[in-house]
Amino acid sequence: MENTDKPILTHAQIWAAVDALAARYGLTASGLARHAGLDPTTFNPSKRVTAHGRDRWPSTESLAKVLNATGASLHELATLTETGSNGETSARPIPLIEFAQAGTGGFFDAGGCPIGTAWEQIHFPEVDDETAYALEVAGDAMLPLYREGDIIVVSPAAGVRRGDRVVVRLSDGEVMARILARRTAKTVELGPLNPEHAALILPVDRIGWMARIVWASQ
């Protein structure tokens, strides 16, 4: 007689739960692994299948470390295996790179929208912009507002107003996070994230594009 029983928990469900748990705490899969004291590549998509194409499951030890580090309960993780990205924690994938990569070329079109296939992904809810993307902060250059490991979500489609935190790409390719202090027909004044640093006053033609930061994992 044919066995029609379905598996209690599938490979896709457990990894969707890991991704959803990471998103809930404002982390990437690699960020979640680091937060739990694991190798940053532990939960990478490339580690979820062996070189021979067989499913690789997260170990119970790694899951236990994740629960301990985040404070999430086993029940919460189990719930996420059922809801995944379609339930209350619904999240869609958006592109992700480290902030330092943003100025290296090949990641954005002329309007500041993400392009190419070199991006990673993070699941993130509540962003009404199909061109939104995420940047992972490295180092201490953005202190005190953004710390190493923080994720900032940027929306090219969002309107930018005075006082907004923005990501700006200059005509020479440099990318920075700043605060829009003032904008005229000829110049753009960009305030620093750190009040100890100086503001920048740049001619408009030095601005390649500017996009608003709409969320940060702080």
Residue 8 has a pLDDT of 63
Tens-binned pLDDT, residue by residue, of the chain (218 aa): 444 454 567 888 888 888 888 877 777 788 888 888 999 889 887 788 888 888 899 999 999 999 888 888 888 888 887 765 444 445 678 999 999 999 988 999 999 999 999 998 887 766 778 899 999 998 888 888 888 888 899 999 999 999 999 999 999 999 999 999 999 999 999 999 988 889 999 999 999 999 999 888 75
What is the C-alpha to C-alpha distance for residues 138 and 152, in angstroms, rounded to an integer? Answer: 11
Map out the domains of the chain as residue ranges.
Answer: 11-83, 93-216
How big is the CA angle at 121 (ends 120 and 122), to the nearest 5 degrees?
A: 140
Residue 212 has a pLDDT of 94
Residue 196 has a pLDDT of 86
Q: Which CATH class is domain 93-216?
A: mainly beta
Answer for the pair 101, 175: CB distance below 8 angstroms, yes or no.
Answer: no
Residue 89 has a pLDDT of 43
Residue 85 has a pLDDT of 43
What is the CATH architecture assignment of 11-83?
Answer: Orthogonal Bundle (1.10)
Neighbours of 178 (CB within 10 A): 22
